[in-house]
Amino acid sequence: MNLKARLHNHLIQVARERDPYLATAGHFFVQEYIRQEFAQWGSVEIHTFQVGNKSFNNLILNLPSQSIGKKQELPPILIGAHYDGVPGTSGADDNATGVVVLLELARKFAAAPAKYPLRLVAFDMEEYGLLGSTDYAGLLRQQQQPLRLMMSLEMLGYRDCTPGSQRYPAPLEKFYPNTGDFIALIGNLRTIPDLIGMSRHIRKAGISSQWLPVPNRGLIVPQTRLSDHAPFWDAGYPAIMVTDTAFLRNPHYHKPSDAIATLDLDFLTGVCEGLEISIRRL
């Protein structure tokens, strides 16, 4: 089965109502699906955190680097995607697309490791204020664990090739194209060399890519903070969000119409391939 077909099969499983309070059956189903997929490639660590009197889980798969057994252990690249959804929508783009790319990156890097160890994390409770990633970033900071880079996969499957389909917070429209046919990489200033390199490798895979460095933890452009990379910015880590820009392009954002049929699977497949290449080159 090719990559596009595998991504589509995952989407059929993950794109369903999965709000952790109002769609608990769907939420549990997707959590189990991710756990079983991860478990093919290694032991799955569960990071549990409390919200009120309820427990929630981030699912973690650690994959070794090529240099296994060498004295100098390199810091891991953390790749995350949130699996919870908004009530009343199957959340195909938000964020089933991020989850399914995470699952396929697990497959690819389990078979052929990268230079750096990888830590793949499926975050919960993103839609309730980045709660899973905030708890986990705080834990890593407290343990003084270094990261080579954190990448948040946030909506990767919506493309619109119509001129005028892409919007921006002012004044970015002066500098970026108005056609929503690219994948965006948004990072803090420490990640500028990675933003440049990753954009170049994604373009080589045939997908248009734009990059944006933001100072001061993204506080001047709040729209750049709307995913699981933001707590890592706040904790002082180099972090990047990979995104189709959500509501600045996708009219189905947080609506019942955010369905698989609205996605561009060729775009999603190209993004997945481009990310694999760029992670290998880091």
Amino acid letter, 13: Q
Length of the chain: 282
CA end-to-end span of the chain: 28
- Mean pLDDT value of segment 15-43: 98
Q: What is the pLDDT of residue 167?
A: 97
Cis peptide before 171 (omega within 30 of 0): yes
φ/ψ (deg, to 5) at 103: -65, -40
Percentage of the residues of the chain whose pLDDT score is greater than 90: 96
Q: What is the pLDDT of residue 73?
A: 84
Q: Residue 222: is its pLDDT beyond 80?
A: yes
Q: What is the pLDDT of residue 236?
A: 97
In DSSP terms, 80 is beta-bridged to 121, 152
Amino acid letter, 119: R
Q: What is the pLDDT of residue 231?
A: 98
Q: Residue 102: is its pLDDT beyond 90?
A: yes
Domain hosting residue 74, numbered range:
3-280
pLDDT band for position 67 (50/70/90)?
A: confident
Are residues 155 and 86 in contact, defined by beta-carbon separation less than 8 angstroms?
A: no
CA 233 to chain centre: 15
Q: Residue 72: is its pLDDT beyond 90?
A: no
- Mean pLDDT value of segment 127-132: 98
Six token digits for residue 199: 């954009």
Q: What is the pLDDT of residue 71?
A: 59
**CATH code for the domain of 271:** 3.40.630.10
pLDDT band for position 68 (50/70/90)?
A: low
- Mean pLDDT value of segment 178-200: 98
pLDDT band for position 229 (50/70/90)?
A: very high
Overall domain count for the chain: 1
Q: What is the pLDDT of residues 177-186, one digit of tens each?
A: 999 999 999 9
3-class DSSP state for residue 126?
coil
Q: What is the mean pLDDT of the chain?
A: 97
Q: What is the pLDDT of residue 70?
A: 63
